[in-house]
Every structure is written in C-alpha cells, then in structure tokens.
Structure 1
Amino acid sequence: MSRFALIKSVIGPVMRLMFRFRVEGAERIPASGPVILAGNHLTFIDSMILPLVVDRQVFFIGKDEYVTGKGLKGRLMAWFFTGVGMIPVDRDGAGAAVAALNTGRRVLEEGKVFGIYPEGTRSPDGRLYRGRTGIARLTLMTGAPVVPFALIGTDKLQPGGAGLPRPGRVTVRFGEPMEFSRYEGMDRDRYVLRAVTDSVMTEVMRLSGQEYVDMYATKAKAA
C-alpha cells in the first residue's frame, strides 16, 4: 500500500468524522489526464482536506518549512504532506514563482492532478482576493482543464490558521471543468492571462459565495 493510500484509509476517516465533510461535484474531476484544481485558500487545514476528498492524488506546492520542522511534530508534518502530494518549494526565494510554475507544468505533463490557490496566499479576512496569473500560464502551456473548487467553513474551524482546528462542518464544492483551448499559444499575452485568471476566480467566487476584492491578498496583508 502506498503512503498516499495509507493516509487516506487511516487518517481520512478520522478527519471526515472531525470535519463532517460535505463534498459536492467531485464527479466533475476527470478520472484521467492532466487536471488543474484551482480554489480559494482560507486557512492551513485547506491543504490537509483537499487531498482527502479527491479520488486521484493531488500534487501541490507547499512551503519547504512544512517538511523541515524538528522533533516529532515536524516529522509527522513532513510524512503527511509529502505523502499526500505536497512538493516543497522555497517560496521566499527570488526564483520562487518560476520554480512553482515549472513544478506545476511538470506534474501536468505527467498526466497528474495539480492543485493551486490562485490568490497565492491565505485570505487575511475570509474574502476572495485577486488571482495571480500563474494558473492561466499553466492551463495555456499544458492544455489541462481547470476545475474550480471552493472550501467553505475551514476558516471557522481554524481562525487565522493558528492553533489546532476545532470540529465542525466543512463543505468542498467543485465546479464544471473549464478549458481555454481558444487561447492556445497566447500564454505570453498579459491581457489573455488576466482574462483567463479572472474567469477562473469568478467561478471560485460563485462556488464559495465569498465577497470578491480586486486586490492581491499579499497587498491586503501588508496594509
């Protein structure tokens, strides 16, 4: 049994009991081939929940600090996150964006599922912020469809992303696959990249019911 299968079979039921998952539209995720899952990001446990509610293994970028922690807690985090599909990247380095884009492209070219939070960071206040165009570059470079998703309720269970989450209800809602083949070969056109990104974020907003803010979340946090 693979580590991913072990985590889903052992830890998955515990988390399902704790968070009472309600999953809507998971059948919309293609059963094979490259797929991009793009959604909102409210708190730390989002990246623990998403891999457990999707049948296929979801690969995603994560902070390298999640796998470099010391002690028992650090080893357990590293075991869990690398087991479910996290690929550690130094997101604070000068080439972080390029490294993340190249990693996502490699995963998709291997016919796998790549998960991404287009906001680039957790929402500081529960609202949905402007998406970064990496999501558009990925779909236009690889031809992979985008399945938008929304995590609902995770911020209520772990406010601010700090401390242990409390039990409660979490809804994970998936939308219809989106394809952008009409823009093939235009992955360097900034207007096309923005239009594709905004259309994905509009679907995420519809699924989540969040208020939209036309500002990058990083700027909101800095302010």
Structure 2
Amino acid sequence: MLYWLIKLLLAEPVLKSVYRPWVRGLENVPDSGPAILASNHPSYVDPVFLPVVLRRRITFIAKSELFTGSGLKGRLAARFFHGIGQLPVDRSGGRAGAALESGARLLAEGELFGIYPEGTRSPDGRLYRGRTGVARLALETKVPVIPVAMIGTDSVLPVGGKLPRIRRVGVVIGQPLDFSRYEGMEDDRFILRSVTDEVMYEIMKLSGQEYVDVYASTVRGGGRSHGARKDPPPGAPGGRSAPAA
C-alpha cells in the first residue's frame, strides 16, 4: 500500500511534471508474472525514475544502511525507500548472496525484480562488466531477463553531485531474453559469464554507452580508469537525445 501511495500521490505526479520522463518498449514488460529487469546504473536516482514509468511494482535491493538512519530524517528516508520499492539487505560479512535470495523469493511470488548487473553505480557514465549474479538468478528461477537502459539520469545527479538538476530523463526497455537453453547449468561459471555478457550487450545496445570490460568497483576503488571521463557527456549516453516533448 505504501508503495502505491508514494508512487501515485507523490513520486509519479512530481517527477512526471518536473522531469517529464519518457519511455520506450513498455510493452516488453509483462502485465503479470515474474521477470528480472536488468538495468544500467549511471546515477543514484535510477531506482526512483524506473518505477515511475512502469505500470507494475518493481522491487530493488538496497544496502541496509539506507534504512537505519537516526532521527526524523532517518525515519522519513526509510519510509521513502520502502515506498519506492527498495528492500533492505545486509550484504556485509560475506552475505552478498542475500540479495539474490531475496530476489528469488520475490520472483517466486510473481513479482518484478530489478537488478544492476554492474553491481554499483558507474563512476563515469560508461557501462561496465556485469557481475554474474543476474545470470545465476535467471537460471535458478527460470524467468526472463528484460534489459533496461536509463537515459540521462547521470545529468540529473552526476557523480559527486549533491542536489538533483532538472533534466529530462528516459527509459528504454528491451525485449525479454530467454535463457531456458541453459537450464540446469547455473553452476557452470562459463555459462554464467556468457549469459551475463549477453545481458550487458543488450543493455549497451539500448543505452548507446561505451562498454568497459572491467568491473566498475575496480575503478571506483582507485583502480585504473582506462581514460574515464570526469563529467558526463552532454545529453544521453552515447549522444542520444530525448524525443521532443
């Protein structure tokens, strides 16, 4: 109930009037039944904008620290994150698999589950190598993976930004990917990598982003940036622009 109250009474009318988000491929999201929506992650505001354009509820996994703030601000933040469909998971102490376990439970209930295969926000607007969790989840649950591209959200809240800017954003949703041909192979690391790379390739085609075959966490952690740019490019990733109003 809280999800729909925030979506319909707060997030949707405000975000639609201010940011005028556009969407392509909405018909690729089924009206019912489970599916994994695998998205690029150029900005922290991505999980705010995607639910706005969908007709169904979608749940993302979020780090538990976002829900444990103190005082009134912390309580309001926790309610907001719950309200936009984010589920707290403690990923410390080797519990990284907790996110996939939660995702599997949601999918078993026929829900939509959102995941960022890159594992973290892009440090420079480019698309980075995907973690194989999305492949393992897809093969274990036998549900389709729908690639998603967030367009222009890194212009709303760029890396290092504190306050969101008013920029038009968009969402491009691709056709569902069926990996039933790999049934029973969820423990084969070569299959997991192949499935993950296929998902990332589809996201790359939708977003127009430059692909970098290293993990984003390596760059964020101070590794080699491979010429990463400091500021996001003008307009959408890959030079794509939003359609006319």
Query: Common fold, TM-score beyond 0.5?
Result: yes
Question: Any idea what the Cα deviations from partners look like across 1:71-115, whole Å, max 9, x if unmatched?
Answer: 333222211111222110123x12332111111111111111000
Asked if structure 1 preserves the Cα contact closer than 8 Å seen for 2:174 and 2:202, the reply is: yes
Does 1:156 find its partner at 2:155?
Answer: yes
- The verdict on how the C-alpha distance between 1:140 and 1:161 changes in structure 2, with shifts beyond 3 A counting, is farther
| Counterpart-to-counterpart distance in 2, 1:147 and 1:106 | 18
Letter in 1 for 2:191: V
Aligned to 2:36: 36
Residue 159 of structure 1: CA displacement?
Answer: 1.1
Provide the residue aligned with 2:197 in structure 1: 198
Distance 1:80 1:121, change over 3 A: same
1:18 partnered with 2:18 = yes
SS of the residue corresponding to residue 59 of structure 1 reads strand
Distance in 2 (alpha carbons) for counterparts of 1:161 and 1:72: 25
Letter in 1 for 2:199: V
Name the counterpart of 1:216.
215
Residue 96 of structure 2 aligns to a residue whose secondary structure is helix
CA distance in 1, matches of 2:153, 2:95: 27
Alignment of 1:2-81 (within 5 A): 2-11=1-10, 12-81=12-81
State the secondary structure of the residue aligned to 1:147: strand
SS of equivalent residue, structure 1 residue 185: coil
TM-score by length of 1: 0.96
**CA RMSD of the aligned region, Å?**
1.1
- What is the rounded CA distance, in whole Å, between the counterparts of 1:206 and 1:82 in structure 2? 31
Q: How many Å separate the matches in 2 of 1:98 and 1:112?
A: 19
Secondary structure (helix, strand or coil) at the match of 1:196 reads helix
Which residue number in structure 2 is paired with residue 100 of structure 1?
Answer: 99
Partners of 1:165 and 1:217 in 2: how far apart? 23
Structure 1's unaligned 5+ residue stretches are: none
Structure 2 SS opposite 1:32 = coil
Q: How far does residue 163 in structure 1 lie from its aligned partner after superposition?
A: 1.3
Deviations 1:94-147 (A, max 9, x none): 233211111111111111100000000000000000000000001100111011
- 2:42 partner SS: coil
Q: C-alpha distance in 2, partners of 1:79/1:48? A: 14
**Which amino acid in 1 is paired with 2:36?**
I
Using the alignment, how far apart are the partners of 1:55 and 1:71 within structure 2?
33
Q: What is the aligned length?
A: 221
Offset, 1:161: 5.5
Residues in 1 aligned to 2:176 and 2:160: alpha-carbon distance in whole angstroms: 29
1:126 corresponds in structure 2 to: 125
Q: Which amino acid aligns with 1:30?
A: P
Shift of 1:164: 1.8
The amino acid that maps onto 1:67 is F
Match of 2:109 in 1: 110
Q: Gapped runs of 5+ residues in structure 2?
A: 224-245
Sequence identity of aligned pairs in percent? 57
Contact 2:7-2:83 within 8 A present in 1 as well: no
Letter in 1 for 2:176: P
Q: CA separation in 1, counterparts of 2:108 and 2:36?
A: 11
Structure 1 residue ranges (4+ consecutive) displaced by more than 6 angstroms after TM superposition: none
SS in 1 for 2:159: helix
1:177-188 aligned at under 5 Å gives the runs 177-188=176-187
Partner Cα distance (1:161, 1:186) in 2: 40
**How far apart, CA to CA, are the structure 1 residues paired with 2:74 and 2:129?**
32
Partner of 1:141: 140
